């Protein structure tokens, strides 16, 4: 599978709170930006994948693809759309697939309605369990119990990512530094998560265009090749009673992605890991094996995820400090870095990136789906 398809266009709309734009408009603008980025006309899109539910996008956008499908597997959806796009291209169903996201998530906050109050977890809601913070807090608390991870360790994740965002125009954290003391002083949301351990809902759209590697080489932008991809579902760990030790079920996803790519961890230059909360990249770095189990806290505290660290992680600020596009944030950042378009935040060594997605609120948990891929600028 290695390098047979590539991301050839990237569109990132304005990202922020209370933009006053509907999700559909954000998606339309993201597609327009991606087409402009790729130097392709509207009619070139012959496949359309919407994360999460497609209604009337095509008519509104003036697109005429052969198919339009919706995909929903939580925050793993964006990576999954690229995997699906690859499969659709490889099976001859399309030549240019648009993977599109755009939501006005902050709109409900503006109307005064609870922003994620609608997140229900089956019977646990009867006890007052609401929101993704609480369900991820279960993993954080367990990690603290097993390994002695502290709130300051989680704070180190928040500060590390903010330091990336401070230098990145267009992110919510641009120019706004964050200290560990400020993190520690921020109010508790769902223990052990303080406000700065949590992402907030933002409005924004992102579209990526996927084509065959051959086609990619004839287009204007440096192709970002899909070198490998894999999926894993935490239900296996639920069945074995180990779900709270596993933020994601990374083992099968990692095995498949790295086998397809013919690569090892040592070949990865940076990681863009799904980060709804600070515990998330920390536990994923452990689960992928970049560091030993339980070492995530000290790793962040000692600067391991910084630009000059052993594994630069969430190098555009991530969803915690840049903007929350339910998993497209990491894909966009990988594309920018691999093209050499990350500006002041450009890493010196940026030939490959691991990208992950995670989530899916369903029933009694919110940590079900995982999808990862390895992107690179050499096929």
Binding residues for another protein, rule: CB under 8 A, are: 114, 116-117, 120-131, 133-134, 137-139, 141-142, 145, 187-192, 239, 241, 243-244, 363-364
Nearer to another protein, 111 or 218 (CB): 111
Nearer to another protein, 134 or 219 (CB): 134
Q: Judge whether 324 counts as a catalytic residue.
A: yes
Nearer to another protein, 58 or 144 (CB): 144
User: Do the Cβ atoms of 208 and 13 come closer than 8 Å?
Assistant: no
Kindly state the smallest distance separating residue 320's Cβ from another protein, in Å: 17
Nearer to another protein, 145 or 176 (CB): 145
Describe the strand order of the beta sheet including 270-272 as a list of residue ranges: 68-70, 47-51, 96-104, 203-212, 5-12, 224-233, 369-376, 352-359, 270-272
- Region label for 340, one of left (φ > 0), alpha (ψ between -120 and 50) or beta (otherwise): left
Kindly state the smallest distance separating residue 109's Cβ from another protein, in Å: 11
Residue with tokens 């339910």, as numbered in its chain: 326
Kindly state the smallest distance separating residue 127's Cβ from another protein, in Å: 5
Nearer to another protein, 114 or 175 (CB): 114
Kindly state the smallest distance separating residue 271's Cβ from another protein, in Å: 26
Query: Strand, helix or coil at 86?
Result: helix
Closest CA to 154 of 107, 109, 195: 195
Query: Strand, helix or coil at 10?
Result: strand
Query: Strand, helix or coil at 93?
Result: coil
Kindly state the smallest distance separating residue 197's Cβ from another protein, in Å: 12
Question: Which listed residue (101, 274, 300, 323) is catalytic?
Answer: 274
Residue 193 CB partners (closer than 8 Å, separation 6+)? 133, 136, 137, 140, 154, 277, 278, 279
Question: Which listed residue (48, 101, 323, 324) is catalytic?
Answer: 324
Nearer to another protein, 129 or 287 (CB): 129
b/e sequence 91-105, b meaning 16+ C-beta within 10 Å: eeebbbbbbbbbbbb
Nearer to another protein, 192 or 318 (CB): 192
User: Do the Cβ atoms of 160 and 154 come closer than 8 Å?
Assistant: no
Q: Is the peptide bond before 192 cis (omega within 30 degrees of 0)?
A: yes
Kindly state the smallest distance separating residue 280's Cβ from another protein, in Å: 15
Measured torsion, CA atoms of residues 206, 208, 209, 215, in degrees rounded to the nearest 10: 150
User: Do the Cβ atoms of 269 and 353 come closer than 8 Å?
Assistant: yes
| β-bridge partners, 354 | 271, 374
User: Do the Cβ atoms of 2 and 379 come closer than 8 Å?
Assistant: yes
Kindly state the smallest distance separating residue 67's Cβ from another protein, in Å: 33
Q: Which residues are catalytic?
A: 274, 324
């Amino acid at each position: 599978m290695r390098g047979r398809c590539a991301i050839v266009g990237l569109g990132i709309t304005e990202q922020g709170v209370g933009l006053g734009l509907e999700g559909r408009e954000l998606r339309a603008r993201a597609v327009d930006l991606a087409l402009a980025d790729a130097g392709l006309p509207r009619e070139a899109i012959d496949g359309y994948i919407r994360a999460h539910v497609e209604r009337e996008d095509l008519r509104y956008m003036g697109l005429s693809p052969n198919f339009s499908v919706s995909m929903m597997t939580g925050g793993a959806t964006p990576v999954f759309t690229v995997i699906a796009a690859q499969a659709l291209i490889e099976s001859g169903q399309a030549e240019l697939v648009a993977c599109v996201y755009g939501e006005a998530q902050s709109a409900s906050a503006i109307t005064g309605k609870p922003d994620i109050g609608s997140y229900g977890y089956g019977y646990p809601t009867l006890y007052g369990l609401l929101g993704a913070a609480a369900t991820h807090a279960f993993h954080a608390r367990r990690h603290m119990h097993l390994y002695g991870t502290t709130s300051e360790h989680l704070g180190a994740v928040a500060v590390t990512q903010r330091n990336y965002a401070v230098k990145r125009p267009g992110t919510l954290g641009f120019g706004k530094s964050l200290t560990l003391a400020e993190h520690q002083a921020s109010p508790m949301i769902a223990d052990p998560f303080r406000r700065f351990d949590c992402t907030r809902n933002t409005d924004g759209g992102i579209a990526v265009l996927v084509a065959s590697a051959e086609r990619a080489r004839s287009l204007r932008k440096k192709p970002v090749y899909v070198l490998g991809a894999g999926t894993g579902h935490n239900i296996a760990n639920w069945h074995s009673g180990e779900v709270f030790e596993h933020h994601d079920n990374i083992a099968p996803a990692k095995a498949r992605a790295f086998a397809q790519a013919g690569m090892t961890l040592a070949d990865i230059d940076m990681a863009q890991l799904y980060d709804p909360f600070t515990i998330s990249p920390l536990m994923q770095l452990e689960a992928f094996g970049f560091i030993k189990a339980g070492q995530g806290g000290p790793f962040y505290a000692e600067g391991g995820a910084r630009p000059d660290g052993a594994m630069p992680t969430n190098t555009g600020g991530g969803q915690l400090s840049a903007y929350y596009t339910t998993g497209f944030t990491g894909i966009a950042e990988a594309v920018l870095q691999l093209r050499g378009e990350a500006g002041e935040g450009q890493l010196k060594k940026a030939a490959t990136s691991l990208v992950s997605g995670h989530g899916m609120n369903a029933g009694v948990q919110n940590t079900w789906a995982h999808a990862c891929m390895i992107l690179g600028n050499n096929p």
